[in-house]
Structure 1
């Protein structure tokens, strides 16, 4: 299938497909004139890439899910680690959502006088501090 058909069926732009090809995530099987031609499995690969991106994986992490011969070779431990990270994010967002909902209806004379709002501020401050410390750490993951 030529690149315009892949664009139409995947919803991605041609430049995205070319970028993915440069990164080794997909491969064209030839050319039809000046247009790249892709095998039938390219849409499945693009769906896997989209799933990985939705889960917060980097393109490099996604690329490592494919063996040199192009077969799927997913690191299950990486998936568990990513799922754990997503769970922590969900928990953090749930706490934030509950705190904001409370602040919206709190009857305290001011938000700063509300103990629940104060706890929310402390959690937000602690999360910001831990993120900035991990970003400065030389051993921390590059993003």
Structure 2
């Protein structure tokens, strides 16, 4: 039984990426095509989850080189594992920062302080390292 092939437009549609991004990722060795159907590249269906991983890694700040190394990794790649652990800590810091920003924006959306950025609660939310900081005290503080 043969694996169904998707043409580049179908992969672009499933992955949410532009065809030019798919060609670039192929050029960089992150994905490979299964061949061509006329002038159009074709891919096996397993390229879609791989693109999901690549897209997620790119959004998390991974470089193409880091993704290439990760995709080739084996359990014996101790240096890479160390780099991945460092990257995981960086992602955790980014998540905490983004949560603080989200909480600050949610607070600012309902704040009645005359200048939103001067609101003590808004400032506290953004500067607190605790990602679970309380918001919504604006009416009592402002």
User: TM-score normalized by structure 2?
Assistant: 0.58
Cα pair distance change 1:80/1:37, threshold 3 Å: same
How far apart are residue 90 of structure 1 and its match? 4.6
| Structure 1 residue aligned with 2:46 | 41
Match of 2:62 among 57, 60, 63: 57
Q: Any runs of at least 4 consecutive aligned residues in structure 1 with deviations exceeding 4 A, and if so which?
A: 90-101
1:41-84, Cα deviation, whole Å (9 max, x unpaired): 111210110121132111111011122xxxx6484322211121
Number of positions where the alignment pairs a residue of Structure 1 with one of Structure 2: 115
- Secondary structure in structure 2 of the residue aligned to 1:28: coil
In structure 2, do the counterparts of structure 1 residues 37 and 85 end up closer, same or farther at CA, with 3 Å as the change threshold? same
Aligned-residue Cα RMSD (Å) equals 3.6
Contact 1:4 1:14 in 2 (8 A): yes
Structure 2, gaps ≥5 residues long: 114-126, 128-142
SS at match of 1:37: strand
Contact 1:20 1:26 (C-alpha < 8 Å) held by counterparts: yes
Contact 1:10–1:43, Cα closer than 8 Å, also in 2: yes
Where do 5+ consecutive residues of structure 1 fail to align?
Answer: 107-122, 124-143
Out of 13, 19, 22, the residue aligned to residue 24 of structure 2 is 19
Give the drift of 1:86. 2.4
